Structure 1
Amino acid sequence: MAGKPKALHPLVPLASLSFSTHQIPAHNLIPNTSLAARPLIVYRAPFATTPSAEQIEAHLRAVGVCFPMWRWPMYPEDHFHTTAHEFVVVHRGRGRLNFGGRGCAGAVEVEVVPGDAVLIPGGVSHALLEDLGEKEGLGSFEMVGSYMEGSEHWDMCYGKHGEEEHVANIPNLTWFDKDPLYGEGGPAAKC
Structure 2
Amino acid sequence: MKDSQPELLHLDSDEMTGYPNSPLPVLIYRQVLDTSNAEERADSFEAMFKRHGWPPAWRYHLYDFDHFHSTAHEALGIFRGQARARLGGPHGQETVLKAGDVLVLPAGVGHASVEADDDFCMVGAYPPGQEPEIERGDPAQLAAAQSRVATVALPENAPVGGPLAALWE
**Shorter-chain-normalised TM-score: which range?**
0.7 to 0.9
Which residue of 2 is the match for residue 44 of structure 1? 30
Task: State whether residues 49 and 56 of structure 2, in contact with CA within 8 Å, keep that contact through their aligned partners in structure 1.
Answer: yes
Task: State whether residues 35 and 41 of structure 2, in contact with CA within 8 Å, keep that contact through their aligned partners in structure 1.
Answer: no
Point out the structure with max Rg over C-alpha: 1
Residue correspondence of structure 1 range 1-191 to structure 2 within 5 A: 11-12=1-2, 16-27=3-14, 28=16, 29-33=18-22, 37-49=23-35, 51-63=40-52, 65-102=53-90, 104=91, 107-131=92-116, 133-134=117-118, 140-151=119-130, 153-160=131-138, 163-164=141-142, 165-182=144-161, 184-185=162-163, 188-190=164-166, 191=168
Task: State whether residues 78 and 158 of structure 1, in contact with CA within 8 Å, keep that contact through their aligned partners in structure 2.
Answer: yes
Unaligned runs of 5+ in 2: none
Aligned length: 161
Name whichever of 24-33 and 76-85 sits farther off: 24-33
Task: State whether residues 67 and 146 of structure 1, in contact with CA within 8 Å, keep that contact through their aligned partners in structure 2.
Answer: yes
Helix, strand or coil for the counterpart of 2:50? helix
Change (3 A) 1:49 1:189: farther
Q: Structure 2: how far apart are the matches of 1:167 and 1:157?
A: 12
1:32-87 superposed Cα distances (whole Å, 9 cap, x missing partner): 12xxx111111101225355212211221122x21110111111110001110111
Which TM-score applies when normalising by structure 2? 0.87
Taking only aligned residues, the RMSD between alpha carbons, in angstroms, comes to 1.7
1:91-132 superposed Cα distances (whole Å, 9 cap, x missing partner): 111111000122x2xx2211111110100111110000001x
Moved over 6 A (4+): none
Helix, strand or coil for the counterpart of 2:134? coil
Q: Structure 2: how far apart are the matches of 1:128 and 1:48?
A: 23
Q: Structure 2: how far apart are the matches of 1:90 and 1:97?
A: 12
Identity %: 27
Structure 1 residue 19: Cα displacement: 2.1
Unaligned runs of 5+ in 1: 1-10, 135-139
The residue type equivalent to 2:138 in the other structure is K
Q: Structure 2: how far apart are the matches of 1:39 and 1:127?
A: 17
Which TM-score applies when normalising by structure 1? 0.77
Helix, strand or coil for the counterpart of 2:154? coil
